[in-house]
Structure 1
Amino acid sequence: MRHVTNVPLRWADMDAYGHVNNMVYLRYLQEARVDMLFVHAHRQGAEGLAGGTVVARHAIDYLAPLTYRQRPLRVETWVRDIRNSTFTLGYELVDVEDGGERQVYAVATTTLVPYDLGSGRPRRVAPTERAVLDGYRDLDGPVPSSDGDAARTDHRAASVAVDPGNAKPFSYPCMVRFDDLDSYGHVNNVRFIEYLQEARIDFAHRYLFDALEAHEGSVVAGLSVDYLAPVPFRTEPLDVRVWVTRIGGSSFDLGYDVRDADTVYARASTTLVAYDVRARRSRTLVPEERAALEGFMADGDGVE
């Protein structure tokens, strides 16, 4: 059985292209997840899931642009996998027409870890929680191509687990804002995606935009991120490093880590598709753009 949450769109969710920003999709997933685990699962006897769960991994593929409208977006959530101390949710963000036809905007997965807030440590999935989660199982649901379980050879999934090697990463100092914190006192998982976006846009402004016409840009087609350590509030900025892991004919992949001198807090990867805003379709990477990207790649590996 899938859990259904109707999530309203906000005017502020739109990006410069007039579409829902890629980061905001993760907020919609969070709203659906909270509704499923903190409200409905709690009512069924799984109070511990509302008491403490932390996100270990996100993966999402963006399949179609979503523009502003007054009716809500349907987010379907189900359980893909339950293990001793983790469980994985699947999602589809869809519109369903009266005849049953589905417009799918994104598919995603989230791996969650039950967490004991008192001890500050992960814990096992309790039997009562497992019984409630079993009621939401859908093993046949779609998964994003960036999900490691579904596509272990996918370049985006692989790039999350590695460092930039001898690539020259771009470094972006990112401040932690007080309102970035969630109810656990840590930076919320969605905020990490915003940090990646800030670093990526700064990178593009410095190295890519001069090679492009005003109507040329790029859109995020897929994202995967592993959360490795919590970030409490801090006054020193985080270092978000960005490097290139693949360059194709009309797309490229970026790797990231979020860190300070002592700790790596998250590793991530995005696939970006070169986009013509005026024509509303993908475009070929221009030579100057490709040359700038190659400057942040290790030994030219991954160039197609």
Structure 2
Amino acid sequence: MPADAVHELPMRWADLDSLNHVNNVVYLDYAAESRALLVDEGVLDDRPVCRIAIDFLRPLLLSSHPVQVRSTADGTELVQEIRAEGSDVVFARVTTTYGDPAALALPAEAGDPLPTRVRHSDLDLTGAVSTTKMFELFQESRILFLSQRLTSMTPGRFVVGHVEVSYAAPLSWRTEPYEARNWVSRVGSSSVTIESQLADGDVALAQCRSVLVGFDLDSQRSRRLSDTEKNEFGGLSPRS
């Protein structure tokens, strides 16, 4: 494919979250739309995806100008930078790794399973949950897990810095819920890492690693975690 393939995509009101930033999962929508265009244009093969990772670099606000997705392929990886039209500032970077999915091991210890239901609108043309909607399922499970267990988890105190999802097997639509398990694997001075899995019984279908960063709304900058936050997150580790 060309060194840099660029697509312009419209931004919509529905793309925003409660902080008036583009919602985290919408960046994945932008990247997926650009990947589909690359396939339609014949510059990218429609290959299986085994992993998608995204780095959230800075918040993107609503604009009447389109979003630009600049894509660069290197072997089995496709790197997509999301920018505003006419700007060299990168707001998010999505890395898609192509290849055959690998089996995932279920964690020996993790949080209690949360029921996760699939909706028809989550499905792609193959009848399975799309790679983008998988991020949304993990996001909903992670928020529910933390909101039920943390007093410090109030809106605006944390932002998502990095998320990566590994795919092992498709999630098809069914009336019975799948199981989501979440646990804390690391607590740092200003960030915390959440591990999540979606499973069907004793079979892990996908795994997610999310890095949450302490955030100060007034300064719009990262901040250190308080001792209370560190203790609460530490209590969600399987080793605690």
Unaligned runs of 5+ in 1: 82-86, 114-121, 123-160
Structure 1 residue 80 displacement after superposition: 1.0
**Residue from 85, 92, 102 that aligns with 2:88:** 102
- 1:38-57 alignment runs, 5 A limit: 39-41=40-42, 49=45, 52-57=46-51
Offset of 1:298 from its aligned partner? 3.5
CA displacement at 1:56 relative to structure 2:
1.4
Does residue 181 of structure 1 match 2:123?
yes
Q: CA deviation at 1:228?
A: 0.3
The answer for the alignment partner of 1:138 in structure 2 is none
Partner SS, residue 249 of structure 1: coil
Match of 2:144 among 202, 217, 238: 202
- 1:215 Cα deviation after fit: 6.0
Equivalent position SS for 1:211: coil
Match of 1:275 among 193, 215, 232: 215
- Residue 163 of structure 1 and its aligned partner are, at CA, apart by 5.0
Residue in 2 aligned with 1:24?
Answer: 26
1:91 counterpart residue number: 80
CA contact (8 A) 1:164 1:298 kept: no
Q: 1:172 aligns with which of 114, 124, 142?
A: 114
Q: Give structure 2 stretches of 5+ with no counterpart.
A: none
Shift of 1:231: 1.2
Q: What TM-score results when the alignment is normalised by the length of structure 1?
A: 0.72
Cα distance in 2 for residues equivalent to 1:29 and 1:253: 24
Q: Contact 2:56–2:93 (CA<8 Å) still a contact in 1?
A: yes
The equivalent of 1:111 in structure 2 is 97
Q: CA RMSD of the aligned region, Å?
A: 2.2
8 A contact 2:67–2:85 mirrored in 1:
no
**TM-score (structure 2 length as normaliser):** 0.90
- Which residue does the alignment assign to 1:217? 157
Structure 2 CA distance, aligned partners of 1:59 and 1:215? 24
- Report the alpha carbon displacement of residue 104 of structure 1 after superposing the two structures with TM: 0.7
Quote the residue 2:69 is aligned against: 75
CA drift at 1:4: 0.7
1:193 to 121, 130, 135: 135
CA distance in 1, matches of 2:155, 2:4: 40
Q: Secondary structure at the match of 1:207?
A: coil
2:12 to 10, 13, 20: 10
Q: Look up the SS of the partner of 1:231 in the other structure.
A: coil
Output aligned runs, 1:149-164, within 5 Å: 163-164=106-107
State yes or no: 1:232 paired with 2:165.
no
The match for 1:151 is: none
Bigger-Rg structure (1/2) = 1
**Whose helix proportion is higher, 1 or 2?**
1
| CA shift in 2, pair 1:68/1:268, >3 Å | same
Equivalent residues, number: 236
Alignment pair present for 1:253 and 2:193: yes
Q: Is the 8 A contact 1:173 1:240 kept in 2?
A: yes
* Percent of pairs with identical residues: 34
SS for the counterpart of 1:233 is coil
Cα separation, 2, equivalents of 1:264 and 1:162: 7
- Label 1:263 to 1:244 Cα distance change in 2 as closer, same or farther (>3 A): same
* Structure 2 residue identity aligned to 1:15: D
Distance 1:215 1:192 in 2: 23
- 1:46-80, CA deviations, whole angstroms, 9 ceiling, x for partnerless residues? 7xx3xx53321101111111011111111011211
